[in-house]
Chain A
């Protein structure tokens, strides 16, 4: 039941939030769109309207495509890994064994750790010369790994870094979802003779569908626009192997001042995010029945 017949109150209540959102979210968004049609003529420090020239320029630019490809590959690896592992960890943490809440607390810690700190920690741990990870690997006879230093390993190393924080984060949603599933349902199924695997597939997973969708969407967005670990550790290298699209955009726009191209890239990124999300929705919807 909602309160009606109030003319001012809701608008007054909403006003600060909406004003702020308009000013600092909607306006910059529109500004980006507009900016993508201009170019900074650096001599005169003036902007020129160039229509879709920026878009043409970036679409012709091999670096842009390389960056897109890297982003695509990265997400193709990362999103499934994070989502599935998050579900797995959630299931484990949902078990009723003694001390489970302690383990839950521990596994949740990376969420409280900021992206800067987690990237810093892992960069140090994966140092080529003397990092702890190489030290541990040496114990089992594995030679030193270059991790962030060579193009073959750099992207995978970023996967590891983002997983440390990303999996617990996604896991929380799954855990909350799992805990909402009434035990009675599962017990009834067990009585009916269903084994654990069947009850997982037929009861649990479908009930988790909404959570799953949310996790997938969130994870997709966060990973498609991943920026922090790249900026902090690899700077797009080595040899562009970690040149995710947000970093490429940042570099082009903020470091080298090519705002028009950067804005155009951002528009493309947004479109891609929208398309990917759309696809995910389609797939999920068709799985309903």
Chain B
């Protein structure tokens, strides 16, 4: 059976699912089937991660011992060891994590402020040129980053920002999705509050800091999550702009655990997990905000 058959079988699965779905839509019926499907989905999601966890705590020569032929022992490290993690940190993973954290938090802070300000302007004000500028923002958002990577790289190089935090963060500070989020949010922000404060003589800066921001917690959280995850997962841009070992970001550290002739599988999995665990830990408790962040833009926009 080839992989193609495997795909076909899963589309059969889909038809099966949709049959059940049609029958049970909106109302709880065939509960067992639903649970079966849910469990299958959960397994598909979790198996790569669970195995990676097990592999990361296994010595290198035993990583694939129980995968082929497969036994459940593959999921439980038979010889528990920290060596993969130790080697990773010896090789500079700690530094990469540090870099990525600094970058991510900076993105959140600066990117958040900039996007909030822009969203505030779009959402709460009317001013000449607003539609044109907003259209430009939309347009730039549609340009995928990869497409403009080369000229952006040259620009950053000319600015002397290669291998620096500046080069890594500044180009992506104006984040289209975050701006949308804030725009949508501020459209519904009570103007009376703002007018009142204005009448009292407060400057817009004051108003922004003391009235707007404190009342925008949900959207700030959503935007923060988006920005954090976006920056944390960036790899192509850092690859271009900051490839030196000192400036490595965590995604690069993962990708380079692969040598020309030997892949250090356990270290590769350990690195992957380290890179994955932090956004997972951040998103899971706040998932509602993250979901609202991603979906809020497209649905109400």
Contact = CB atoms under 8 A, between A and B. Distances in A.
Does A touch B (CB under 8 Å) in the complex? yes
A199 B41 CA distance: 25
B86 interface: no
A111 B283 contact: yes
Given A88-B18, A114-B232, A10 B148 contact: no
A227 to B, nearest CB: 5
Given A2-B126, A32-B151, A91-B21, A14 B133 contact: yes
Contact of B275 (A11, A16, A117, A197): A117
B207 to A, nearest CB: 9
Contact of A114 (B4, B44, B48, B279): B279
B67 A107 contact: no
A56 B177 CA distance: 36
Interface string B1-20: 11110010001001001100
Given A16-B117, A84-B14, A103-B38, A270 B147 contact: yes
Nearest to B154: A31
Contacts of B232: 114
A129 B14 CA distance: 30
A134 B140 CA distance: 43
A115 B25 CA distance: 33
Contacts of B282: 112
Contacts of A164: 44-45, 48
B157 interface: no
Contacts of A28: 148, 150-152, 155
B236 A227 contact: yes
Q: How large is the interface on A (under 10, 10 to 19, 20 to 34, 35 or more residues)?
A: 35 or more
Given A132-B70, A210-B299, A218-B298, A17 B114 contact: yes
Given A110-B45, A113-B279, A145-B2, A138 B70 contact: yes
Interface in B234-284: 235-236, 240, 251, 254-255, 265, 268-269, 271-272, 275-276, 279-280, 282-284
B96 interface: no
B42 interface: yes
Provide the main secondary structure of the chain B interface: helix
Nearest to A154: B3
A276 interface: no
B18 to A, nearest CB: 6
A3 B25 contact: no
B68 A3 contact: no
A95 B34 contact: yes
Contacts of B125: 2-4, 6, 9-10
A225 to B, nearest CB: 5
A117 B24 CA distance: 36
A92 interface: yes
B48 A125 contact: yes
Contacts of A279: none
Contacts of B38: 92-93, 97, 100, 103
Interface stretch (A42-50, A58-66, A175-183, A234-242): A175-183
A282 interface: no
Contacts of B41: 89, 92, 103, 106-107
B115 interface: yes
Interface string A245-289: 010001001100001001100100110000000000000000000
B174 interface: yes
A131 B67 contact: yes
Nearest to A270: B147
A177 B153 CA distance: 38
A32 B272 contact: no
B213 interface: no
B76 interface: no
B68 A134 contact: yes
A125 B280 contact: no
Interface string B73-115: 0100000000000000000000000000000000000000011
B155 A132 contact: no
B221 interface: no
Contact of B70 (A127, A139, A152, A254): A139
B146 A135 contact: no
Given A18-B118, A29-B143, A130-B64, A172 B18 contact: no
B27 A21 contact: no
Given A9-B125, A32-B151, A84-B14, A214 B3 contact: no
Report, nearest first, the 3 A-B pairs whose CB atoms are least far apart.
A135-B70, A114-B233, A130-B64
22 contacts: A3-B194, A9-B121, A14-B117, A17-B118, A18-B133, A21-B137, A24-B152, A27-B155, A31-B154, A31-B155, A32-B150, A91-B25, A92-B38, A116-B272, A138-B68, A142-B1, A153-B2, A172-B291, A176-B299, A197-B23, A214-B299, A270-B143
Interface of B: 1-4, 7, 11, 14, 17-18, 21-28, 31, 34-35, 37-38, 41-42, 44-49, 51-52, 55, 64, 67-70, 74, 114-115, 117-118, 120-122, 124-127, 130, 133, 136-137, 140, 142-144, 146-152, 154-155, 170-174, 179, 191, 194-195, 204, 208, 229, 232-233, 235-236, 240, 251, 254-255, 265, 268-269, 271-272, 275-276, 279-280, 282-284, 287, 290-292, 294-295, 298-299
